[in-house]
Amino acid sequence: MRVLSGIQPSGKLHLGNYLGAIRQHIELQDEDEALYFIANYHSLTTVHDAERMRQLTADVALDYLALGLDPQKAMLFRQSDIPEVTELAWILSTVTGRGLLERAHSYKDKVAKGISASMGLMCYPLLMAADILIYRSNLVPVGKDQVQHIEMTQDMAGYFNNTFGCEVLVRPEPRLNAAQVVPGIDGQKMSKSYGNTIDLFDTAKKTRKRIMGIKTDSTPVEDTKNPETCNVFALLKLMAEPAELEEWDSRYRKGGMGYGEAKGRVAELFEETFGPARERRDKLATDPDYVEDILVTAAAKVRVMAEEVMHDVREACGLVTAKKVQR
């Protein structure tokens, strides 16, 4: 099975990114053929500073490698190193109705939050579909809020195949992440746009301070507490082992425990996971040529896949291109 996912370089990666997607990406590299791309074309809908874009793109590569992505098992590459993806996005736009794009929940939500309603933002699902279909991906790990985009990709593959009487584009399927919603320090979904994130690679001191600031209710220490409505417990549920989680559940319901204890344990669990990763990241940052070689090598491999698909797409459409000159 070929698994594909992408992540936008639009800001620092945070705990929600890790629990909601990256952890599963790392696990899948041992099970399937894994392709992960840094979605810098997509980030152009919000990032308009060239130097910042370059830095954010490099940061995502460092983050993934530090968190355990093995370039011998998975391919990590930049979206912009595969120009065929934009060609396929255009071709998909010629068989896709505007109404489908206007129904995208993500587009409506972002516009409601004040993000400029650019054509890039509206056409985001077209480019995302091209990202997936260009490699004949079988599975796409996503959170519940992204399932609609996979369904739209399925629709677009069908539109193309039906229009041109072929079976060139492969229908992908979503693979739901176990962690569907990761709460931020204010209880809302953890998101850069809400300013409620716990960044993965801040210093241990800054991270602990951030975690200790998680919003809780005013229930006295001696009273029982409801773990099902607690933001801190929600993070414990995503980070602690089942046996330990059962103990915390019991302590919540028994009373006599302050939220500060639970927050402290979240901070410990965070440091156990990301402390070593922070050290690996610092070391990788001293060798940018090594990181660049990983990206370039992977891009060369996946571009062969993209070129094969585009050859079949052009044949189906009747598009004629110049033959490569033999040297």
Q: Which residues, 6+ apart, have CB-to-CB distance to 94 below 8 Å? A: none
Between helix 84-93 and helix 288-317 the angle, nearest 10°, is: 40
Two tokens, residue 91: 């071709």
Point out the catalytic residue in the list 73, 189, 215, 237: 189
Given 12, 108, 144, 192, which residue is catalytic?
192
Quick one: tokens of 9? 């370089």
- Residue of 73, 82, 95, 71 lying closest to 29 (CA atoms): 73
In the annotation, is 192 catalytic? yes
Which residues, listed in sequence order, are joined to residue 77 by a DSSP beta bridge? 37
Task: Judge whether 254 counts as a catalytic residue.
Answer: no
What string of DSSP letters covers 78-131?
EGGG-THHHHHHHHHHTSS-HHHHHT-HHHHHHHHTT----HHHHTHHHHHHHH
232-251 exposure pattern, b = at least 16 Cβ within 10 A, e = fewer: bbbbbbbbbeeeebeebeeb
CA-closest candidate to residue 281, choices 296, 291, 268: 291
Distance CA 105, CA 111 (A): 10
Reply yes or no on whether 73 is catalytic.
Answer: no
- The string of DSSP letters for 268-286 reads HHHHHHHHHHHHHHHHHTT
Q: Which is the catalytic residue, given 110, 206, 254, 263?
A: 110
Q: Which residues are catalytic?
A: 110, 189, 192
